[in-house]
Amino acid sequence: MLSLFCTSMARGGQFSDSVKVYNAGINGNNTVNLLARIDRDVLRRNPELVVLMVGTNDMLHTDKSLGMEQYEKNYQELISCLKKKADLVLMTIPPVYAPYLVQRKPQFKGDLKAPQARVDSANMVIRRLAAKNNCKLVDLNTILTACGGANTDKESLFQNEANMGIADGVHPTANGYKVIAAAVYETIKDCKPGVKSVVCFGDSITKGYRMQGEGKTEGDSYPAVLQRMLNQHL
């Protein structure tokens, strides 16, 4: 699966050398935080396209987790605000490695099924809202699960003790970000091939936690890889 997406990254496309991608990811953000900064970090840039991924902290953060009803309400508000100004691509949130999470998240009380169940519930909301609002959807969870999901292997697309020296299980590796960028690239190529400006809006997964160039569009985060792809510099 990884080789399939990496092959797609090398193909020529219909994009010019002037596509600008903005990395609007911030560590620890949930839907409440995104709503609070949507004008400053997204709308003032007048993007043609916004790629939205949010929900990991709404589901898993010890202090910022929300009930499903509030999460859906906030997510719909984000969609409504963004669609007034730009085209919108939604992404489901990635799978997680539950044993790491239950070690450091007291709210799960050692229940290994609980973290992924929360992620799955959020993704049901995202898929439903994508259909309801006629938004393009990148089913990132399905893609990354097909690539092996989050596990403890050194080759995992998620940060773990074997590849990054950290019991993370939530944030992608550099190779994981290549897969994400390729999936977004293929969607943009299909739905908006002449795009000139893209804002990637989200939390630490968008920001590129622990990656080279974290929070920027140079380095290994998915917005950085996406910008290179759109400008055909890979």
In this structure, are residues 77 and 40 in contact, taking their beta carbons and an 8 Å threshold?
no
User: CA-CA distance, 182 to 227, in Å (whole number)?
Assistant: 11
Q: What are phi and psi of 110, to 5 degrees?
A: 75, 5
What is the tally of structural domains in the chain? 1
User: CA-CA distance, 34 to 81, in Å (whole number)?
Assistant: 11
**CATH number of 189's domain:** 3.40.50.1110
Host domain of residue 217: 2-230
Identify any residues that bridge with 136 across adjacent strands, giving them in sequence order.
Answer: 89
User: CA-CA distance, 37 to 23, in Å (whole number)?
Assistant: 13
Q: Tokens 């080279």 appear where?
A: 212
The Cα angle at residue 109 between residues 61 and 121, in degrees rounded to 5: 50
Mean local confidence (pLDDT), 20-33: 98
User: CA-CA distance, 140 to 174, in Å (whole number)?
Assistant: 16
pLDDT by residue (tens digit) across 41-81?
999 999 999 999 999 999 999 999 999 999 999 999 999 99
Q: What is the DSSP letter of 42?
A: T
pLDDT by residue (tens digit) across 149-207?
999 999 999 999 999 999 999 999 999 999 999 999 999 999 999 999 999 999 999 99
Q: What is the pTM assigned to this prediction?
A: 0.93
